[in-house]
């Protein structure tokens, strides 16, 4: 494979990039000025070298703790659980939510071999046991996998009697995911969250 074909194949690892787009990217890279390409390649390298999950919530950061966990103005007793980084960013972009997060790293899918050990559930339990948490918001995606994971987490968390377990009232067709929601729906869903009393 020559270098042009190899670069084209390499671009295809990006989500949503098929043959045609990969080809456009490749020709762009050939034509672009040296500085832009050097910057892109430096940042791609730095992202892999310097970014790691926040020790508390799993949000990518260059520091030990992410900017949300180290913000003393936020309410650290309210923890909103999301499946992925994309969901956290979507909720942060919507604004208004002033608690903190916990990124699970996906949802349970036994058939795909995604078992509880593969998610950041152990870290969640350690967090619940070692810090003062009043409320856990289960903001997993409103689809079957998200629901199965929510039930599993509810069962684990219900023994902590001092913690209120809630769920956003997302007015969304079942089967969707959080990162397709508009800001208004997200803010309203979190503001009007409901306590889960059992599944």
The residue ranges that bind Zn ion (CB under 5 A) are 54, 56-57, 59, 66, 69
Cα-based distances in Å from 19 to 8, 14, 171: 8, 11, 37
> Whole-number minimum distance, CB 118 to Zn ion, in Å?
20
**Residue closer to Zn ion, measured from CB, 66 or 172:** 66
The CB density around residue 73, as the number of other CB atoms within 10 Å, is 5
**Taking the CA of residue 137 as centre, how many other CA atoms within 13 Å lie in the half-sphere pointing to its CB?**
26
Answer whether 48's CB lies under 8 Å from 113's CB. no
> Whole-number minimum distance, CB 26 to Zn ion, in Å?
37
**Residue closer to Zn ion, measured from CB, 61 or 141:** 61
> Whole-number minimum distance, CB 53 to Zn ion, in Å?
8
**Residue closer to Zn ion, measured from CB, 70 or 169:** 70
Separation CA 93–CA 87 (nearest Å)? 10
**Residue closer to Zn ion, measured from CB, 69 or 91:** 69
């Amino acid at each position: 494979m020559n270098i042009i074909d190899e670069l084209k194949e390499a671009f295809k690892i990006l989500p949503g990039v098929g043959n045609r787009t990969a080809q456009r990217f490749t020709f762009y890279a050939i034509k672009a000025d040296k500085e832009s390409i050097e910057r892109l390649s430096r940042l791609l390298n730095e992202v892999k070298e310097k970014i790691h999950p926040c020790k508390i919530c799993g949000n990518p950061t260059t520091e030990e703790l992410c900017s949300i966990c180290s913000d003393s103005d936020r309410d650290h007793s309210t923890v909103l659980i999301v499946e992925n980084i994309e969901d956290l960013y979507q909720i942060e972009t919507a604004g208004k939510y002033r608690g903190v997060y916990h990124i699970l790293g996906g949802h349970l899918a036994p058939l795909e071999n995604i078992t509880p050990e593969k998610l950041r559930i152990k870290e969640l339990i350690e967090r619940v046991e070692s810090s003062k948490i009043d409320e856990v918001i289960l903001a997993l995606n409103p689809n079957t996998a998200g629901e199965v994971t929510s039930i599993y987490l509810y069962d684990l968390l219900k023994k902590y009697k001092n913690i209120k377990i809630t769920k956003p009232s997302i007015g969304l067709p079942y089967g969707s995911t959080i990162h397709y929601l508009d800001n208004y729906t997200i803010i309203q869903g979190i503001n009007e969250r409901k306590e889960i009393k059992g599944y």
